């Protein structure tokens, strides 16, 4: 029996009359990192928004742990173990690092273990412990992204959705952030969907890859196989 954490089947989504995603189907096996790569405007954020419940798909289904969540409200999905790191992190710049982290645990279920979880999360990101009283707006790009990931972890998610964590980061810092994600996914047994434009870097850390082009998945495979594929290299990796 397969152990799929999340299954997206025949999903379509868009905004009003504009349809953006067409017939999206893929699964996220438990504990695996799934990368969805594509250029700006391909539909990556729309895809994550539909999984997070921020928009309702026009077709198809989203199933989490075997239960249909296609129409489940976003805040209820948090309670089901889903957490999203939005593009750019979306921290509150005039609040401290600690206050931003606390906001990740606003759901009643997470609030009870807040103090303990805060300490665990700071163990994972020691730099955030050092900077806990600093305003989030004063963090460097890399620290901000770490803080956004840490905030998502405050609700003890099982499935993490990451929207282009590399935006605004240098290649070196991108590698560092992605390595951190890989590490903690393994440590916490997380399943991850990460969407990215940095194809080469993200396929190096993911287990499975899908290429999204104009709202459709045009290639899928083991990330390691996609990386070695000549056509993928020429078309999407600029090699
Ligand atoms: N709120 C919105 N209203 C209308 N169209 C949108 C909205 N957000 C995104 N789009 C359109 O949907 C398409 C996919 O966007 P998006 O999912 O943000 O792509 P990506 O994250 O891959 O850059 C683009 O053509 C974009 O203009
Ligand atoms: Mg986007």
Does 42 sit in the ligand 1 pocket, CB within 6 Å?
yes
Q: Taking a C-beta distance cutoff of 8 angstroms, is the pair 36, 235 a contact?
A: no
Cα 124 to ligand 2 centre (Å): 26
pLDDT, residue 238, reads 77
Domain segments of the chain as ranges:
4-90+160-236
Q: Please state, in angstroms and rounded to a whole number, the distance separating the CA atoms of residues 32 and 117.
A: 23
pLDDT band at 1 (very low <50, low <70, confident <90, very high): low
Those residues whose C-beta lies under 8 Å from the C-beta of residue 201, and which sit 6 or more positions away, are 166, 171, 174, 175, 178
Give residue-wise pLDDT tens across range 183-224.
989 998 999 999 999 999 999 999 999 999 999 999 999 999
Q: Which residues surround ligand 2, an ion (CB under 5 A)?
A: 44-45
Q: What is the position in ligand 1's atom list of the atom closest to the CA of 38?
A: 22
| Residue found under tokens 């025949």 | 10
Please work out, in degrees rounded to the nearest 5, the angle formed at the alpha carbon of residue 164 by the alpha carbons of 41 and 89: 115
Establish whether residue 17 lines the binding site of ligand 1, counting it when its CB lies within 6 angstroms of any ligand atom: no
Q: What is the largest CA-CA distance in the chain?
A: 51
- Residue 109 pLDDT greater than 70, yes or no: no
Which residue has the least CA distance to atom 6 on ligand 1? 15
What are the structure tokens assigned to 146, written together? 């770490």
- Domain 4-90+160-236 of CATH type 3.40.50.300: yes
Q: What is the mean pLDDT of residues 60-68?
A: 97
Give the CA distances from residue 162 to residues 101, 225, 230, in Å, rounded to whole numbers and listed in that order. Answer: 17, 22, 27
- pLDDT mean over 37-61: 97
Per-residue pLDDT, 206: 97
């Amino acid at each position: 029996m397969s152990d799929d954490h999340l299954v997206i089947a025949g999903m379509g989504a868009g905004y009003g009359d504009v349809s953006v995603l067409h017939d999206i189907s893929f699964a996220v096996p438990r504990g695996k990192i799934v990368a969805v790569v594509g250029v700006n405007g391909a539909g990556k954020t729309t895809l994550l928004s539909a999984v997070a419940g921020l928009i309702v798909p026009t077709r198809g289904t989203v199933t989490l742990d075997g239960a249909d969540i296609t129409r489940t409200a976003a805040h209820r999905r948090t309670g089901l173990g889903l957490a999203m790191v939005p593009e750019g992190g979306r921290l509150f710049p005039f609040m401290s690092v600690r206050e931003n982290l606390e906001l990740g645990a606003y759901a009643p279920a997470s609030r009870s273990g807040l103090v303990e979880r805060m300490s665990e999360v700071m163990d994972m990101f020691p730099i955030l412990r050092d900077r806990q009283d600093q305003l989030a707006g004063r963090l460097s790009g890399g620290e901000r992204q770490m803080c956004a990931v840490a905030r998502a972890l405050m609700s003890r998610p099982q499935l993490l959705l990451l929207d282009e964590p590399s935006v605004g980061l240098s290649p070196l810092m991108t590698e560092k952030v992605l390595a951190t994600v890989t590490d903690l996914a393994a440590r916490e047994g997380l399943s991850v969907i990460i969407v990215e434009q940095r194809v080469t870097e993200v396929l190096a850390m993911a287990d499975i890859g899908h290429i999204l082009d104009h709202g459709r998945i045009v290639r899928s495979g083991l990330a390691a196989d996609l990386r070695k594929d000549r056509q993928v290299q020429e078309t999407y990796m600029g090699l």
